[in-house]
Structure 1
Amino acid sequence: MPTIFYPFSAILGQDAMKTALLINAVDPSIGGVLIRGQKGTGKSTAARALAALLPEIEVVDGCPCHCDPDDSATSHAECAERMARGESLPRLRRPMPVVNLPLSATEDRVVGSLHLEQALKTGERRFEPGLLAAANRGILYVDEVNLLADHLVDLLLDAAASGINLVEREGLRYQHPARFMLVGTMNPEEGELRPQFLDRFGLCVGAQGLEDTAARREIVARRLAFEADAAAFHRRWEPEERLLADQVVLARERLSAVAVPEAMLDLVVRLAIEVGAQGHRADLAIIKGARALAALLEKTAVTATEVAEAARLALPHRMARSPLDSDANLDERLDGVIGRLIAGEEPPGTAETEAEVPEVLDEMTDSMEVPGSMAAGSILFAFLKKKARKPT
């Protein structure tokens, strides 16, 4: 029997976490999501529930990499060669693959292994696919990623960034596509992820337990109802799940048409510079995140609203910080920077530049008149809630 996961839309609160996951579902090239938080805050539940929102994919039947039968450019060597010969490949529609990477996994289990003995005997390469092949065109989920061996984290992040898994053993070389959405979860109390790995995740969000009495009671009631009858509980949330799923599909279709005005590029660059983000990954993550969010909000162009929201997801783990800085202090400082730059103000103690920030940066939607006036993630779910109330 197929496993029934807790519905994504039934997760109460944690809007920043859910927004980050949906943004990456629209544009996996953002670089994945790292979810940091306390135990029992729905991190694993949200990561597993996301796959149910994503559409089925068409694959070559029997292919270990789930290659697209209509796209030789993104297929692994064997499927690409069969397509080049004009062979009609068997097709199969299947749910979005979700691969869990256990902490005990070896390097060969993750990247795959080349059988040297077979190559020496027959002269033919024999490759045993690993978890990266199984995750191609799907989701790779790593729980407690901070406890994973450093060299495995490095392999995962390299493959996620390049979209290719390259295996080299004793002069033999094999590569295959590895385009997946990387989702990592961790509890900071068990140890932090090294800074060089932390920066490689496109977005990073925190998850904390809710302190509101009514909200906590509702969380417990929903979970008990799910455990009592998972199928009935899932049917109860089916309309909300369908709305989210349709929104992701539509956003994927319109993503390439969403314009990024030069004023927004300037704003992103200034944000990254002012908070002390090193390199250029932060700039790219904000731009891509803002564009994906704009697509989910059914906008034709990125505005300051989406930039501010994406910055809250892409910058906190990249900001220059001292050992005494808390997450709350960083969030407050980031909101201050966002508000000042959108208002066109220069950093304290600096001279005004000749070219002022364009007036378009002051254009904020009704849902966020002042940066920081709403918690991260609230914009998207306020929009979806409003859309759900509209008559069909």
Structure 2
Amino acid sequence: MWQNDKRKEKINYQVIEVSPTAPAPMTARRMVFPFTAIVGQEEMKLALLLNVIDPKVGGVMIMGDRGTGKSTTIRALADLLPEIDVIADDPFNSDPNDPDGMSDHSSSQNPSIVKKKVPMVDLPLGATEDRVCGTIDIEKALSEGVKAFEPGLLAKANRGILYVDEVNLLDDHLVDVLLDSAASGWNTVEREGISIRHPARFVLVGSGNPEEGELRPQLLDRFGMHAEIRTVKEPALRVEIVEQRAAFDLNPQAFMEQHQPEQEAMQQKLVAAQQLLPQVELDYDLRVKISQVCSELDVDGLRGDIVTNRAAKALAALEGRNEVTVDDIRRVITLCLRHRLRKDPLESIDSGYKVEKAFSRVFGLEASSEANSAATANGVR
């Protein structure tokens, strides 16, 4: 079939060619609202920070009303994170210190290393599967005998954050692709007998409005954490939020400089937590009680147990401790389990309340609370 010996030689060696991305024009840094200046929504902020400390927690699904700062908070987190080391001109943001996480294209000897901001990729609702996963140039493969791969959004998001706004409106097959890549850490593209595989390790963050539909339970279960946020009701807090936003819009540079010390302190805290995480211990008895809570709530599978263990360790690291406490578990267990409970259409009780009640019962906090109430009623101080 091939008349040219050089072409045949290329086919035998399976040369991989990754289309280089065009260099971005030099532009001024985009002004992003500072993460430390965001008022309220503590549950959402905690879930995001824990996923940054330990990406293996599995991402977070944020459901809440419109205009509650979901997108603002996620973009602020990406801007807060410290720069990472990457291989120069590598389309996959490969880590030079992690040979197992490199693509075939990145496995060169003595690569030059550069600093880069943690990538933050927005996935539009109308994206095609080729745009998300990347595509292979079949014409170039046939004419030149080269695997010509055009990286997609998953390649760009490697070692960063992939944000899907209104994820409940995204096509189910794309959600499947995202969840599979997030779970395995790799993306494989198969086209016409040609296969390309590259790292895709990212924190998957989805947001949505419950009024616009729910995710399928089996897909919702694949998100490590689930944060529910509501519109702030306290007038004083609402005024503070409005004033903060007005000050940022009036002079973004001055506003960011005002919060720069807090931003740097938070950044250092995250770096310290990532370094401390491998040393954090979770007592065996506490692990048993976590699994007991999951069992009593009839949680399907073991993802709930695994994610709660990881999140509790990440929280202890964030607080600068190397041992998990009961309070750490209390703060994360609702985030990790509320979306894994079986839904009963006849039951009006909130899933978060069910998790809290089961936690208090298993950890013996319910009895101590009742004892304190009885002592107070009897006049005991």
- The match for 2:132 is 110
Q: Residue 246 of structure 1: SS of its match in structure 2?
A: helix
Q: Distance in 2 between matches of 1:220 and 1:148?
A: 31
1:106-255 superposed matches below 5 A: 106-255=128-277
Q: Deviations over 1:354-379 (max 9, x none)?
A: xxxxxxxx9xxxxxxx9xxxxxxxxx
Match of 2:110 among 88, 91, 115: 88
- The match for 2:70 is 43
Q: Distance in 1 between matches of 2:130 and 2:351?
A: 39
Instruction: For 2:67, give the aligned amino acid.
Output: G
Q: Distance in 2 between matches of 1:345 and 1:72?
A: 49
The answer as to whether partners of 1:32 and 1:181 remain within 8 angstroms in 2 is yes
Q: Of the two, which has the highest radius of gyration?
A: 2
The answer as to whether partners of 2:339 and 2:351 remain within 8 angstroms in 1 is no
25-34 or 232-241: bigger deviation: 232-241
- The match for 2:364 is 343
Q: Distance in 2 between matches of 1:295 and 1:171?
A: 46
Q: Deviations over 1:168-189 (max 9, x none)?
A: 1121111000011111110111
Q: Residue 228 of structure 2: SS of its match in structure 1?
A: strand
Instruction: For 2:332, give the aligned amino acid.
Output: A
The TM-score normalised by the length of structure 2 is 0.87
The answer as to whether partners of 1:72 and 1:79 remain within 8 angstroms in 2 is no
In the TM superposition, what is the alpha-carbon distance from 1:240 to its structure 2 partner? 1.7
Q: Residue 320 of structure 1: SS of its match in structure 2?
A: coil
Q: Distance in 1 between matches of 2:199 and 2:350?
A: 41
Instruction: For 1:334, give the aligned amino acid.
Output: V
Q: Distance in 2 between matches of 1:4 and 1:121?
A: 45
The answer as to whether partners of 1:251 and 1:298 remain within 8 angstroms in 2 is yes
The answer as to whether partners of 1:138 and 1:181 remain within 8 angstroms in 2 is yes
Instruction: For 2:156, give the aligned amino acid.
Output: A
Give the root-mean-square deviation of aligned CA atoms: 1.6
- The match for 1:75 is 102
- The match for 2:354 is 333
- The match for 1:374 is none
Q: Deviations over 1:42-82 (max 9, x none)?
A: 111111100122110111111100112233211100112x1
Q: Residue 249 of structure 1: SS of its match in structure 2?
A: helix
1:351-390 superposed matches below 5 A: none
In the TM superposition, what is the alpha-carbon distance from 1:106 to its structure 2 partner? 0.4
Q: Distance in 2 between matches of 1:40 and 1:260?
A: 38
Q: Distance in 2 between matches of 1:345 and 1:15?
A: 25
In the TM superposition, what is the alpha-carbon distance from 1:256 to its structure 2 partner? 0.4
Q: Name structure 1 gaps, 5 residues minimum.
A: 347-361, 363-369, 371-392
Q: Deviations over 1:217-241 (max 9, x none)?
A: 1110101111101111111111221
- The match for 2:47 is 20
Q: Name structure 2 gaps, 5 residues minimum.
A: 1-27, 373-381
Q: Distance in 2 between matches of 1:324 and 1:13?
A: 32
Match of 2:85 among 39, 51, 58: 58
Q: Residue 316 of structure 1: SS of its match in structure 2?
A: helix
Q: Deviations over 1:114-173 (max 9, x none)?
A: 112222222221111000000001111111111111000010011001000011112111
Instruction: For 2:81, give the aligned amino acid.
Output: L
Q: Residue 196 of structure 2: SS of its match in structure 1?
A: strand
Q: Distance in 2 between matches of 1:243 and 1:74?
A: 30
- How many residues get paired? 342
Q: Distance in 2 between matches of 1:183 and 1:41?
A: 16
The answer as to whether partners of 2:85 and 2:95 remain within 8 angstroms in 1 is yes
Q: Deviations over 1:59-115 (max 9, x none)?
A: 1111100112233211100112x1xxxx32122111111111101110000000011
* 1:301 correspondence with 2:287: no
Q: Distance in 2 between matches of 1:173 and 1:276?
A: 41
In the TM superposition, what is the alpha-carbon distance from 1:340 to its structure 2 partner? 0.7
Q: Residue 126 of structure 1: SS of its match in structure 2?
A: strand
The TM-score normalised by the length of structure 1 is 0.85
- The match for 1:373 is none
Q: Distance in 1 between matches of 2:72 and 2:205?
A: 12
Q: Distance in 2 between matches of 1:295 and 1:195?
A: 31
The answer as to whether partners of 1:136 and 1:179 remain within 8 angstroms in 2 is yes
Sequence identity, in percent?
A: 45
In the TM superposition, what is the alpha-carbon distance from 1:345 to its structure 2 partner? 8.2
